[in-house]
Every structure is written in structure tokens, then in C-alpha cells.
Amino acid sequence: MVSASVAERVSRIASEMGYARSSLAYGLRTGRTQTVGVVIPDLTNPLFPPIIRQIERRLAEQGYIAILADSDNNHENEKVIVQSLMSRNVDGLILATAHRLDSVVIACVEENIPLVLVNRTIDAHSVTAVINDDAHGIELAASHLVGLGHEMIAYIGGPQDTSTGHERFLAFKHLKNAGHFKSHSDLIRNCKAFTEIEGRRGFLTLLKKDRKFTAVIAANDLLALGCYDALSELGLRCPNDISVTGFNDMPFVDRLAPPLTSVHIPHEEIGNQAAELLLEKMRNPQSPIRTVNILPELIVRGSTAPPA
Amino acid sequence: MVSASVAERVSRIASEMGYARSSLAYGLRTGRTQTVGVVIPDLTNPLFPPIIRQIERRLAEQGYIAILADSDNNHENEKVIVQSLMSRNVDGLILATAHRLDSVVIACVEENIPLVLVNRTIDAHSVTAVINDDAHGIELAASHLVGLGHEMIAYIGGPQDTSTGHERFLAFKHLKNAGHFKSHSDLIRNCKAFTEIEGRRGFLTLLKKDRKFTAVIAANDLLALGCYDALSELGLRCPNDISVTGFNDMPFVDRLAPPLTSVHIPHEEIGNQAAELLLEKMRNPQSPIRTVNILPELIVRGSTAPPA
């Protein structure tokens, strides 16, 4: 409606007079705020910071700012947070909080907001997600323990309403049923949360029963730390009495006493992929739904050894 | 301009029809967005998550959402992030990134945006801040080492353009000059950043010189981890050959090999205070500027022992 030279002159004078673009007014007019909401279940889990940092970096390169929120492992919080982000007209969402059946995720899909799940996905696989090959990770841990000579293996799992908790547990059961090692329902405990406290509590109940196993696979590193706590409380040593494996290879597990053998997932690459897929989805809402499955590898450290 | 009953009826019908308040429109009309920007220098430093989590919780109780950003220890990033937050009309800012002379902080003050600094402050002390009693923390570490019988003590410090790096260094120098222990300029190294890499590099240069000291005080836990790395590279043991102390008592240092003796700061309380002070400042911009100085305590663990 105005010529390019007039538009240029208006911008120049506005800028000289100290006016800056109001993101609010810009957002109202264009429906875009250049902000992305990122929701994680537990900020104090060292798994997330390197993933988030990479998401922030990739998004910043494209002029987006991330609003980070922590749901504190609480589905009700997740709902409130996502509503609050939506009312602030975020252009997209990255959720690390998904449950296998997740009304918040479904509501986001119905609202047509660009959405990427990270680390966990929903059973329907109807949302783009960047996840790890959970079954392969458990296989790597089990093969390593079997290779060391362990025959009877315990399992400390995560919540079964998350894809990570469920897939890792299914993989363990499948390997046991296929005869790769022995286990028993008394040697398997799925915890309510991926935390040290839950891992300790779960492993204590196994250790206090008839202890015939020589190794335990924990479904993530925080659960493995809980296993360390349970062992030291009972005066047992790792790996001399019991070998322990974790999952995620989160920062600092290489410095623990003993350093933790863990399934490594590439944190930065996961963050990168999640940001890329969201940027694509925001540019083109019709881009196809996909699940990117990242292959983990095992990092062997001092927490695993041949059985005594 | 309308009666209460009409207003109530309009709200009810709008809500029945599925309309929700647009935060953007509300923000434009009222100048308030109910968002607060929180900027930290390094999200992967485990010191920050428990502080941030508490800030988020306190702010959420008052209906505020936190936009978290990570400046990656880079002053230029800090500037871009703060500009971007301002253009999104955040109602307040909490910065954990302050330098002793900080143009970004000064610009925020000039813009009259409610602002609280956390962990670090500026030399002028002209902004409300929640910090630790850095000098007292170093005193605690030094007294502990002297009590164990250490006479010659080295120091691995942080960047001198931050209040934490500077105050801790001054405290060390002061104690040395007062004759509490012996040290020497060859045994003191201030690093460019509070990171493991810098701590390792700094401590390697000290260790490769004429090694007469039996203990080192590190200005934070990540620097202390770097000291661990340097020791193990040279085949030296902690605490047998050299005792090490850290600062912050960040999560997981109790699980290291050896568990780290560290100056404990109350992470949740710091987050709580920072959020409270910002809420007060947002309610009443005239509330007085103050520096809240939190007293740390020493947690003694396996990384310190009497000299061999």
C-alpha cells in the first residue's frame, strides 16, 4: 500500500526515534511470536541440560527463543504449563514429558500446534518424535553382562506409563524369555518414577529377598544411582557383589564411585534433531509425521565385572 | 463502563463459546505479560537446576511463567538474550550471569525493569541481589585444611570479572597474608571460566612446577573436578597426595570418587529468595535495593585428609 522507499523511510525514522518492534503487537498481527515452549519432566536430571542447550542453540540460530518449563514429573503441572504456553501463542512445542496415553499431547495435536516429542513418545506414534532405540539399549546392557558370565539378572524399571519405562521393560522380558539369561518376577521391579529415591526403594526390596542374582539392569542412570545407595546401605559392593548398568550416560556418571556402565545416548544430536524437526514443522505444517529412532551404544566402566 | 452482571454474563458466554484470554492482547493492553526472564551462564552446571526449579515454583504460585535462557558463558549472548526478552515485554528479570562491570545489567536498570541478580552481583551493588558469603566460604575451606595440618595451600580460582571469582580470590589472598597458611604466586591460578576444562588446565600448570603444596582450594566444584582430572593424569591420588575442596556443593559431588569436600550453599533457599525479591519488585518498583548475603557451610567428605 506504500512504496518501498516510503516504507524504508518510515522504518528508518522510527528506529532513529528509538522505537523498537513490539513482539506483542507483532505477535497479534502475524499470529507468530518466535517463541517455542520446551517442557521437561525433571530439570534436576542431568540428562536434560545438554539436550535443551542444543535445542536452544539451534532455535536461536533461526531467531526463536525457548520458554523452558519443568513439570516436576506431574501430569497436572504439564497440563497447566502447556495451557499457559498456548495462551502465550508459542509457535511450537517440544515435550519431553509424554506419557504413552497423553491427553495433553492429544489436545496439542487437535489444536494443530507444531509439536515434537523428545526422549519419550505416545503409543499411537501419531506425533513426530525423537527417541532412542530403547530395546536395543537394554540388549546391549544384557549382552555385556551375559558376556561377563552373569546368569541371573535383576531389573529395576521405570514407570510403565512412559514409552521409555515400558519399552525397556518389554526388551528385558523378551531377552529373558528368549533364554539369554535367567530372571524371575521376584527379581523385577518397575518403579513409579525415574528417580534415585525410587531406585533405592525398589532395589532394597529385591535385595532383601532371596538374593540369587549377580547383576542388575537399571532402566536409567538415576535408578542405577538408587541401586548404588541400596547396595551401600546393605554393606554390599559394586561390582564385587553386584554389577550395575544404567541408561542415558548422563553427565558425571563417569566420575562416580564406581564409574557407571551405561547405555549412551547422543544428547546433543537428540536436541539438534528435535529442534530441526520442529523448525520444519513450523515452516510446513503438512510435513510428514515421523519417529526418529536413535541408536544408542554401551559405555563400559567400573560398575560391571565378572560375577565373584 | 458496564454493570457487574453484564460483565459476568459476557465472560460466561465468551467462555462457553470457547474463547480464552489472549496473553498477547492482554499484554498489549495492560503492559503485563506475567512472564519473567531467567538467564543463567551454563545450564549444564548442576548448580543451577535446583535454584531455577525453586524460582519457577515460586513464580508459578503467583501466575508467572519463567522464560529460561542459557548465555553459554558469553557476554554477547547475554546481551542478545536480554534484548530479546525485553522485546517480549517480560515483567521482570533474574540474571545469574552478572559480571562485576556489566553493561547489560546497567542497561536493564536504566530501562527500569524489575531485576534481581542471583549468585553473582556487580561491584556497585546497585541492584538487588541474592549472593553467597563468598569470603566466609573460602575461610571455612581454608580453616578445615589448616586444621588437618596442611601448611602450604594452592588455589584454583575463577574469572576475576565475576564477583564470585573475585571475592573468593581476595579471601584466599587475605587469609594467606594474615598468616593462616603459606602459599605463593606460583601456587595460585585464576582460570578464565568456571569449568572442568579450565580447572584441569590451570591445575596441571601448578602441579608441573615445583610441587610443595599438599592441598588445593578450588573456587567452585567444576574447577575442583578439573583438579581431580589433572591429579589422575599425573598419577597422583586425592586425598593421599593432594587434598581438594570445592565450592557450591552441587548435586552429585557426594557420589564422586572421592566424594568432594565442598562449601555448601542452600540452592532452594537461594531460588526462593530471588523469586520473592523479584515478586516484591514487580509489585512495588520503589522497594529498596538490597543485597541478601547467604551464609554457606562446609560439608567435609573424602577429598580432604591430613597431609601424608
Same domain membership, residue B258 and residue B152: yes
Q: Which of A21, A24, A57 is the closest to B24 by Cβ?
A: A24
Cis status of the peptide bond prior to A307, with omega within 30 of 0: no
Angle at A132 between CA A128 and CA A136, to 5 degrees: 135
> What confidence score (pLDDT) does residue B152 get?
97
Task: Look at chain B and report how many structural domains it folds into.
Answer: 2
> What confidence score (pLDDT) does residue B223 get?
98
> What confidence score (pLDDT) does residue A20 get?
64
Establish if B52 touches chain A: CB-CB under 8 angstroms.
yes
> What confidence score (pLDDT) does residue B25 get?
64
Name every chain B residue with its beta carbon within 8 A of the beta carbon of A24.
24, 27-28, 33, 88-89
Residues 243-262 of B with CB under 8 A from A: 251-252, 255-259
Q: Is B12 contained in some domain?
A: no
Placement of cell 550395575 in the chain: A244
Note whether B70 contacts A53, CB cutoff 8 Å: yes
Which long-range CB contacts under 8 A does B25-32 form with residues at least 24 apart? B25/A28, B27/A24, B27/B89, B28/A22, B28/A24, B28/A25, B28/A28, B31/B89, B32/B89, B32/B91
Q: Is A236 contained in some domain?
A: yes
What is the average pLDDT across A204-228?
95
> What confidence score (pLDDT) does residue A21 get?
63
Same domain membership, residue B215 and residue B103: no
Q: Which of A20, A28, A252 is the closest to B24 by Cβ?
A: A28
Same domain membership, residue A110 and residue A169: no
Note whether A68 contacts B67, CB cutoff 8 Å: yes
* Residue closest to B252 by CA, chosen among A205, A192, A201, A47: A47
Q: Is A16 contained in some domain?
A: no
Q: What is the DSSP letter of A186?
A: G
Same domain membership, residue A244 and residue A147: yes
Establish if A307 touches chain B: CB-CB under 8 angstroms.
no
Q: Is A95 helix (H, G, I), strand (E, B) or coil?
A: strand
Strand pairing partners for A88? none
Establish if B69 touches chain A: CB-CB under 8 angstroms.
yes
Q: Is B18 contained in some domain?
A: no
> Could you tell me the residue range of the domain that residue A100 belongs to?
33-132+267-294
Residue at B143: amino acid letter: S
Q: Which of A25, A43, A46 is the closest to B28 by Cβ?
A: A25
Establish if B64 touches chain A: CB-CB under 8 angstroms.
no
Same domain membership, residue B188 and residue B209: yes
Which three three-digit cell numbers place residue A227? 541401586
Range B261-299 burial, b when 16+ CB lie within 10 A, else e: bbbbbbbeebbbbbbbbbbebbeeeeeeeeebeeebebb
State the smallest CA–CA distance between residue B48 and chain A in angstroms: 9
Angle at B279 between CA B274 and CA B284, to 5 degrees: 125
State the smallest CA–CA distance between residue B260 and chain A in angstroms: 11
Per-residue pLDDT of chain B (308 residues; tens, 9 = 90+): 678 888 888 778 877 777 666 665 666 566 678 899 999 999 999 999 999 999 999 999 998 988 888 888 888 889 988 988 888 889 999 999 999 999 999 999 999 999 999 999 999 999 999 999 999 999 999 999 999 999 999 999 999 999 999 999 999 999 999 999 999 999 999 999 999 999 999 999 999 987 889 999 999 999 999 999 999 999 999 999 999 999 999 999 999 999 999 999 999 999 999 999 999 999 999 999 999 999 999 999 999 999 98
Distance CA B143, CA B52 (A): 31
Q: pLDDT above 90 covers what percent of chain A?
A: 79
Establish if B81 touches chain A: CB-CB under 8 angstroms.
yes
Which residue in B19, B36, B67 has the most chain A C-beta atoms within 10 A of its own C-beta, making it the best mutation to test that interface? B67
> What confidence score (pLDDT) does residue B26 get?
63
What is the average pLDDT across A79-105?
93
pLDDT digits (tens, 9 = 90+) for A156-214: 999 999 999 999 999 999 999 999 999 999 999 999 999 999 999 999 999 998 788 99
Q: Global pTM? A: 0.89
Same domain membership, residue A166 and residue A261: yes
Same domain membership, residue B209 and residue B158: yes
Distance CA B97, CA B95 (A): 5
Same domain membership, residue A122 and residue A71: yes
> What confidence score (pLDDT) does residue B208 get?
92
> What confidence score (pLDDT) does residue A24 get?
58
Largest CA distance in chain A: 84
> What confidence score (pLDDT) does residue A304 get?
98
* Residue closest to B123 by CA, chosen among B158, B146, B99, B145: B99
Which three three-digit cell numbers place residue A6? 516510503
Within chain A, where are the H helices?
Answer: 4-16, 23-30, 48-61, 75-87, 103-110, 134-148, 163-177, 196-208, 221-233, 267-283
Q: Is A156 contained in some domain?
A: yes
* Residue closest to A136 by CA, chosen among A289, A270, A263, A302: A263
Same domain membership, residue B47 and residue B128: yes
Same domain membership, residue A182 and residue A250: yes
Angle at B132 between CA B129 and CA B136, to 5 degrees: 140
Establish if B107 touches chain A: CB-CB under 8 angstroms.
no
Distance CA A177, CA A149 (A): 18
CA distances from B203 to A105, A251, B124, B197 (A): 49, 22, 32, 10
pLDDT digits (tens, 9 = 90+) for A274-283: 999 999 999 9
Same domain membership, residue B256 and residue B146: yes
pLDDT digits (tens, 9 = 90+) for A30-84: 667 888 999 999 999 999 999 999 999 999 999 898 888 888 888 888 998 898 8
CATH number, residue B248: 3.40.50.2300
Who's near A259: CB < 8 A, 6+ residues apart?
A: A253, A301, A302, A303, B257
Name every chain A residue with its beta carbon within 8 A of the beta carbon of B229.
none
Q: Is A25 contained in some domain?
A: no
Q: Is B25 contained in some domain?
A: no
pLDDT digits (tens, 9 = 90+) for A192-206: 999 999 999 999 999
> What confidence score (pLDDT) does residue B258 get?
96
Same domain membership, residue A271 and residue A126: yes
Find out whether B100 and B163 touch, Cβ atoms under 8 Å: yes
Q: Is A9 contained in some domain?
A: no
Q: Which of B49, B53, B67 is the closest to A67 by Cβ?
A: B67
